[in-house]
Each structure stands twice: as structure tokens, then as C-alpha cells.
Structure 1
């Protein structure tokens, strides 16, 4: 493409140079034509033939003795010969030959050299020569006008060609400028992508700092409780309380560690392709397995699993059991986190056009419209007053990535009756 554009630009420049050269030639030819028009030889020839005819007419009509200027035949004869010499001058030779009058003039000159010159015949010949000169002069004037028109036409064509070539060059220049702007926009987008990458790295660094702090806190509780148990081993109630506190802290620590490992794994494998260990699974069994992992975390609220009318059970799907259970666990955990105490969690299963549809709905405050676009971004948790629980904003991002690995979709929306609804779509067959 660039080679063709360079060739086109070179051709346009050569074309413009050719047109400019033609303009220069046309201007020079017009100048010469103008000088030629200012030196009209036909006008001199008309004057000379008129004077010769006048002198010959005087000789023809003179019968009186020589007296004065008009009666001096010798003088009139000399003037007539002088006019003929002017007409036969070398500078006028080409004009007289074109007019066809040179031979007639030579014949008249020869007749004047005799004693019995026939001035009546000479007058007739001079009259004919005058007509020939006038006709030739008109022909030359017409030819010059035609040449003038041709030069003007050529000049107009050249100017139009230069304007056209200049317009094409301007168009080419504008295209080049557009490409430069496009390249600049692409460079700006690349810089923005680099800035986002830098921001993501900063988020990871902040995430590691937060996790380090959060991991130290439960470890400190474990250490402190273990020390107290060592000093108060005889007190059974105290031991039970401390034991429950240790169990809660350990569970919290395990959840945070598992979430960190999941986040790192998803980030490392995103966009590089993952080999799924797909097998034929009963979707209801996967849902029950995901709910079993919560134990007493959701015992305070009912979880209802509903099926669309006409759906055959069991509903078989080819998927990676581990990852699908993880997706469901993330969705149920998110619904549990944002639902009021005792409010139910609704799981609805349907299928259409070879796709599994599984919706997990909560009874929470819903999702603000401005947060829907960024809800699945890593580490995004909204405003501090909107955040609930001790999560770090990775659950939904991990869930969407796992769903994409399966060729499905994960979307979020607000329910009319209140709360949020996350809809999982997976192909029934991989």
C-alpha cells in the first residue's frame, strides 16, 4: 500500500512538472506571437503598393510638359521604381512569395526599364498585386488568431492540469495526515493500555499489601488464643470459646489463601487457553456440592432451588466439575454476602437452544447502574460504604473467567422486586 502511494505521488509530481513546462512554453509562444503581431509586414506592403499605384497613375495620366513636382516624369518614374524596390526587398521576400506577387513585381520592374512602358498594364498588375497582398495579410492575421487561440487553449488545459494534479496531491496529503492521526490515536490507545497495565500492577501490589495485613490479623488471633489455651487449659468453657475463635480465624485464613491462589491462577491463564477436564455431570448435583461447602454460613437463611416447568431431571451437562462448582460457590457467596439476615437465596434452572440457564438471585439492595459495567473487574468493590464483608473483589471476576473458559456467559441485572440476579449461561455439550 505505501509503495503504491509513493508511486502515485511521484507520478502526480511528474505530471505537475510536465504541465508547468507546458505553461512555460505556452507563455513564451504567446510572447513571440505578440511580438510578431506588433511587426505586421502586410501593413507595410499595403502602403508600399498603394504608393506605387499612385505614382504609376500619375505617370499614366500625365501628358503636359514637365512642370513642378507632379509634372516631373523622371521624378515620378524614380519614385515608382523605389516603391518596387521596397516591395522586392529581401526582408519582404517570404511575404511576397506567399502572396504570389513576386514574379509580377519583377515583371513590372523589367517593364519600367524600357522606354515604352505600358503604364495601363502596370496599373492593372499593381491593382492585382494589392489584392493579393490584402488577401495574404488577412490570411496571416487569421492564422495568428488561430495560433493565439490554440496557445490560450493549451494554457487553460495546462493550468487545469496543474490544478487537478495539485488537488490530487492535496487529497493524498490529507489521506497521509489522516493516517498519521490514526497512527497517533493507535499510539495513544497503546499508551492507555500500558497505563491500565501499570494500574493493574499497582492494584496487585496493593492487593498483596492488603492480604499481608489481613493474613497477619487471624494469625495473631490464632497465636494469642493458643497461648491462652496453654495457660487456661483447665477451664473447659474458655477452651471451647477459644477453640471456636481459632476455628473461625483458621477458616477465614483458608478462604483468603484459597482466593489468592484462585486469583493468581486465573490471571496467569487468562487469554492463553485452558484445557478443561470436561465430564458428564448432573447439574443439580453440582449445585448441591457448591452449597455443601458453606456449611453453617448460610444456615440462617433458606436457599431455594427451583426448576423451570418441563425441564427433565437429571439435567446433564458436559463441563469441568471443579470449575463449575467454584462458579456456583462464588455466586452463592456473593448472594449471601449482600442479602439481609434471614432473606432467601433463589436458584432457578432452565434450558433453551442447547444452553443451560442458571440464575442466582438475592434479596439485597441491588446494584447501582454505574457499577454494572465494572462489576466483573478484578479487585473492584465499589465505594467503601457499598462494600460488605471481607472480600477483595476477585470472586465475580474469577467466576466470569471460568464461565468464558466453558464458552458461556455470566451477566448481572437488578430484579424488579429488589435485589440482584446473576445469570449463568453454559452450553450443555462442549
Structure 2
């Protein structure tokens, strides 16, 4: 029994070291990527300020600028995810307005969502929540990406935010195939993918697990309500501080 315990402890330590090494490698790669990306963005910005450029050229330059921003975002997100997987999540909480963050993520996901009808149900007067901006963006993107993957083209995806009982509650609802009851308790497990997902939906099975870790780090819980054949609703509540709660 002792030998078995020591073997298990050794494997756990090896896994931890592997995750730390991956995180450190991604940190280094991110640094290498950021230098040329910054240079590209500066060059594109300079060309955009040239009044002699034709409208067609400016349109192409704007696409290049947007794609450089998107690459920067993806690099930063990859580093954050690696840190979470290695147990190194660092929260840098500042008051965050939810509605602008939702629209920012939607703006960055135009390609993934181009064949979906996205409806936003929120208002700009929601109280700010104490949260890590970059980590919250990861949660929103993961939930929207999940909705896009599982809902058919032309179907609606509804993103909502409201204030309820001392918290801001965010919901993402799709009209996909839904989740069988037998799988509901497992969708947040690392690497778990249901039979339908394994056959037809690309992914690693890590997105929802990462999102749940981030939400829990903020004192909330990521939940799902779903019925097979009727779509799914993922939701999480971000607690407000006392002075931010409104009656």
C-alpha cells in the first residue's frame, strides 16, 4: 500500500512539473510572439494614418490590424490557460463592467459566430463586478465558442447579464442538440467529451473545465441547464462587494 501511494505521489509530482514546464515554455513563446506582433501593429497603424492610401488599401490594413489584435489576444489567452492548468492562476481583480466585455468578446469572435444569430440581453447600467478582466474574457469566449460549436448555422445564441441577489449573473443559451442527463454531471471534467462531441465537434474537452476554474476563483459557480434536443444554458454568478450591491 505504501509503495502504491509513493508511486501515485510520484506521478502527481511528475504531472505538476510537466504542467509548470509547459507554462514556462508558453511564457517564453508569448514573449517571442509579442515583439513582432507589436512591430506589425505599429507598421499597420502608421500606414492607416497615411491619407494618400486608397479606401481599398485602408480596408485591407484594417483587417490586418484586427487580425494582429486577435493573435495577440490568443497568445495571451494560451498563456493564461497554461498557468491555470499548472495551478498558477493569478487573479488581478478590478471593477469590471460586464456589458462592454461581452461586446468585446463578440467583436473578436466574428468568424466563429458569423453564421449564428447572436442576441445580447443586458444593459450598460449593471454595477461593476470585482474580476480579473483577462480571465473573465476567457470564460465568455469559452462559453460562446461552446455554443457556436454545438448549435446549427442560423440558430440563435442569446447572451444575457442581469443583477440578482448581490451578484451579476451571466447566461449563454444555445439551441443545439442539448446534453443528455447522463452527461450533465461530467461536462466540466477535464478532457471529457460526450459521444456526439467526439464524433462531430472539434476540441480538447478543456474549455468548460478551465472556465469553471476561473469562475470558482472569483467566488462563483459555473452551471448548466440542458435537455436533450432542446439546447443548453450555461450560467455563472459573479458576487458583488457590499457597496456595489443595489436594492
Deviation at 1:416, TM superposition (A): 8.5
Distance 1:388 1:288, change over 3 A: farther
Unaligned runs of 5+ in 1: 1-183, 205-246
Distance 1:190 1:273, change over 3 A: farther
Deviation at 1:333, TM superposition (A): 0.5
TM-score, normalised via structure 2 length? 0.64
Give the match for residue 300 of structure 1.
115
Whole-Å separation in 1 of the counterparts to 2:76 and 2:196: 23
Q: Residues 147 and 157 of structure 2 are in contact (CA less than 8 Å); yes or no, is this contact kept in structure 1?
A: yes
Residue by residue, what CA displacement relative to the aligned partner does 1:362-392 show, whole Å, maximum 9, x if unpaired? Answer: 1111112222222112222223664544321
1:264 aligns with 2:82: yes
1:365 to 177, 182, 189: 177
Give the match for residue 10 of structure 1.
none
**Farther off after superposition, 420-429 or 388-397:** 388-397
Secondary structure, aligned partner of 1:304: strand
Give the match for residue 350 of structure 1.
162
TM-score, normalised via structure 1 length? 0.39
Q: Residues 365 and 418 of structure 1 are in contact (CA less than 8 Å); yes or no, is this contact kept in structure 2?
A: yes
Q: Residues 302 and 342 of structure 1 are in contact (CA less than 8 Å); yes or no, is this contact kept in structure 2?
A: yes
User: Which structure: larger Rg?
Assistant: 1
Deviating runs (4+, > 6 A) in structure 1?
198-201, 254-259
Higher relative contact order (CA 8 A, sep 6+): 2
Deviation at 1:286, TM superposition (A): 0.8
Whole-Å separation in 2 of the counterparts to 1:188 and 1:197: 14
2:218 to 406, 412, 415: 406
1:393 aligns with 2:242: no
Give the match for residue 93 of structure 2.
278
Deviation at 1:327, TM superposition (A): 0.6
Q: Of Structure 1 and Structure 2, which has the larger fraction of its residues in helix? A: 1
Give the match for residue 141 of structure 2.
329
Distance 1:369 1:189, change over 3 A: farther
Secondary structure, aligned partner of 1:349: strand
Residues paired across the two proteins, number: 193
Q: Residues 160 and 172 of structure 2 are in contact (CA less than 8 Å); yes or no, is this contact kept in structure 1?
A: yes
Give the match for residue 32 of structure 2.
none
Aligned pairs (5 A) from 1:171-320: 197=12, 261-268=79-86, 270=87, 274=90, 276-307=91-122, 313-320=125-132
Deviation at 1:195, TM superposition (A): 10
Secondary structure, aligned partner of 1:366: coil
Distance 1:355 1:193, change over 3 A: farther
Unaligned runs of 5+ in 2: 20-63, 243-247
Deviation at 1:189, TM superposition (A): 10
Whole-Å separation in 2 of the counterparts to 1:191 and 1:382: 33
Distance 1:283 1:194, change over 3 A: same
Whole-Å separation in 1 of the counterparts to 2:197 and 2:110: 28
Let me know the Cα RMSD of the aligned residues: 3.7
Q: Of Structure 1 and Structure 2, which has the larger fraction of its residues in strand? A: 2
